[in-house]
């Protein structure tokens, strides 16, 4: 028998009341359970669970909910949490589950990256395929961990075994059928103390800015020939606009990840620990002729990434998503709209660490704009003609260059 946690916003039926809110209730005890040979999930938390310390309706005192000691084998998936806060999966053995060992969809309303009270997968042994449990001729098409499309998750003390072929990957991004199935993601997961057993396909990347892994202790590259430890490095999909001095084989000490991170559509690269991938998503573009075509992102004095338009997304349903690198300037434009009289859009710019900034440049203005507004709560101003200085200027500051006919703004 499988386990399903389906918390309503309030109890229904004869016990209906608005004074009890199961979706934020503290966790009881879930431990020492076994599920096998179920066609779907061993444990399914569907659809919402955001545990708090007190469970009082309206509370925002976020806490953890620990599901532990689950032995799940020969199921569709092990545990899956759909929309969750500080849910933790600990001390589990997950073997021969067809689609995934662990999967998440969305994280929110929790203490991000906090192993004590936030979302965490810890002390889990995931086996892709075991011959004694696999029908003759079946091939592995499983994943060990499919992390959610959200920031905040920590993955610690895991063993990943027998992920060693196409479509048999230890780490792989999710999809949400009703929300987005491609070109989404761009979130960072923090990882430490991973052990690889007979696993040569550690992560697959489907597109640039798919999923990002902060390798806190270099265990993600342990055993890869020619790679030195680099604690805190960022492993992410390659994109042309990444600075080669910070990411990839030409970055000092970063090395070549090789086939362990190269079996997806996009190869993986290792970036230096000082690199932060700033998630940058854009929608509601005007002029409308840019909608539907590619957005271009060019590293100043570097290369250009063409970012495909997507009709569905996490923060912008009709727009573009990429990752910028901290402390650089990027020129952003649109193939179908090379020049502007007026330019407006909505953007989400996130995942800054202390000291990070990014400057975004838009070229193609025939004359100096009358007014520029960067932040939602900001008053439009005539753009100054003094270049931006991240050490002095505040986030939302702007600059117009009359010679180059471009506008820049600062986010940090």
Interval 58-91: pLDDT, tens: 999 999 999 999 999 999 999 999 999 999 999 9
336: in domain: yes
Residue 149 · residue 123 · CB < 8 Å: no
How confident is the prediction for the chain on average, in pLDDT? 95
User: Would the pLDDT of 224 be above 70?
Assistant: yes
- Ramachandran quadrant class, 163 (left: phi over 0; alpha: psi -120 to 50; beta: rest): beta
CA distance 5 to 51: 13
Residue 330 · residue 362 · CB < 8 Å: no
Whether 193 and 317 share a structural domain: no
CA distance 154 to 216: 10
Whether 292 and 162 share a structural domain: no
Looking at 171, 201, 231, the residue that finishes a domain is: 201
User: Would the pLDDT of 120 be above 60?
Assistant: yes
253: in domain: no
252: in domain: no
Whether 197 and 298 share a structural domain: no
Whether 27 and 120 share a structural domain: yes
Share of the chain above pLDDT 70, in %: 99
Whether 169 and 30 share a structural domain: yes
List of residues 6+ apart from 39 with CB closer than 8 A: 75, 76
Whether 197 and 288 share a structural domain: no
User: Would the pLDDT of 136 be above 70?
Assistant: no
Per-residue pLDDT of 332-381, as tens digits, reads 999 998 888 899 999 999 999 999 999 999 999 989 999 999 999 999 99
pLDDT of residue 34: 97
325: in domain: yes
CA distance 337 to 276: 29
Tell me the Cα Rg of the chain. Answer: 23
Whether 13 and 161 share a structural domain: yes
List of residues 6+ apart from 390 with CB closer than 8 A: 327, 357, 359, 410, 412
377: in domain: yes
Whether 183 and 313 share a structural domain: no
Distance of CA 181 to the CA centre of its chain: 14
Which of 38-52, 133-147, 197-211, 349-363 has the lowest average pLDDT? 133-147
Confidence of residue 1 (pLDDT cuts 50, 70, 90): low
Whether 192 and 312 share a structural domain: no
Looking at 158, 180, 201, the residue that finishes a domain is: 201
State whether residue 143 is helix, strand or coil: strand
401: in domain: yes
Whether 170 and 283 share a structural domain: no
Looking at 201, 235, 268, the residue that finishes a domain is: 201
Whether 102 and 191 share a structural domain: yes
320: in domain: yes
pLDDT of residue 138: 62
Beta-strand pair 33-36/70-73 = parallel
Confidence of residue 140 (pLDDT cuts 50, 70, 90): confident
Average confidence (pLDDT) over 219-247: 98
User: Would the pLDDT of 317 be above 90?
Assistant: no
Confidence of residue 42 (pLDDT cuts 50, 70, 90): very high
31: in domain: yes
* 297: containing domain: 278-411
Whether 151 and 295 share a structural domain: no
Q: How many domains does the chain have?
A: 2
Per-residue pLDDT of 154-179, as tens digits, reads 999 999 999 998 789 999 999 998 89
Residue 102 · residue 189 · CB < 8 Å: no
User: Would the pLDDT of 57 be above 80?
Assistant: yes
Kindly report the length of the chain: 412
């Amino acid at each position: 028998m499988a386990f399903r946690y389906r918390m309503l916003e309030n109890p229904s039926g004869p016990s209906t009341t608005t004074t009890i809110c199961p979706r934020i209730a503290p966790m009881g005890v879930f431990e020492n359970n076994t599920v096998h040979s179920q066609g779907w999930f061993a444990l399914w938390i569907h659809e919402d669970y955001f545990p708090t310390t007190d469970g009082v309706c309206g509370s925002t005192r976020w806490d953890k909910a620990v599901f532990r000691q689950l032995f799940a084998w020969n199921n569709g998936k092990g545990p899956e949490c759909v929309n969750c806060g500080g849910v933790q999966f600990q001390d589990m053995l997950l073997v021969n589950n067809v689609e995934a060992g662990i999967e998440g969809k969305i994280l929110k309303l929790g203490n991000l990256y906090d192993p004590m009270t936030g979302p965490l997968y810890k002390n889990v042994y995931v086996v892709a395929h075991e011959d004694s449990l696999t029908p003759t001729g079946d091939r592995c098409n499983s994943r060990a961990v499919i992390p959610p499309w959200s920031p905040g998750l920590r993955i610690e003390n895991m063993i990943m075994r027998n992920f060693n072929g196409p479509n048999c990957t230890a780490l792989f991004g999710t999809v949400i059928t009703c929300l987005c199935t491609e070109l989404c993601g761009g979130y960072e997961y923090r990882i430490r103390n991973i052990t690889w057993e007979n696993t040569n396909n550690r992560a697959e990347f489907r597109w640039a800015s798919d999923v990002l892994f902060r390798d806190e202790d270099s265990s993600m590259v342990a055993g890869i020939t020619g790679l030195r430890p680099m604690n805190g490095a960022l492993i992410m999909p390659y994109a042309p606009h990444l600075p080669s001095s910070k990411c990839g084989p030409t970055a000092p000490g970063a090395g070549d990840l090789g086939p362990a991170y190269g079996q997806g559509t996009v190869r993986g690269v290792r970036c230096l620990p000082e690199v932060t991938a700033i998630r940058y998503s854009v929608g509601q573009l005007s002029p409308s002729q840019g909608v539907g075509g590619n957005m271009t992102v060019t590293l100043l004095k570097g290369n250009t990434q063409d970012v495909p338009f997507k009709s569905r997304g996490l923060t912008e349903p009709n727009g573009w998503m990429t990752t910028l690198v901290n402390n650089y300037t990027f020129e952003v434009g649109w193939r179908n709209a090379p020049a502007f009289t007026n330019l407006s859009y909505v953007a989400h710019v996130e995942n800054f660490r202390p000291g990070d900034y990014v400057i975004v440049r838009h070229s193609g203005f025939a004359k100096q704009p009358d007014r520029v507004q960067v932040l939602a709560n900001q008053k439009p101003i005539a753009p100054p003609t003094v270049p931006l200085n991240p050490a002095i200027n505040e986030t939302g500051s702007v600059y117009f260059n009359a010679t180059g006919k471009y506008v820049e703004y600062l986010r940090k």
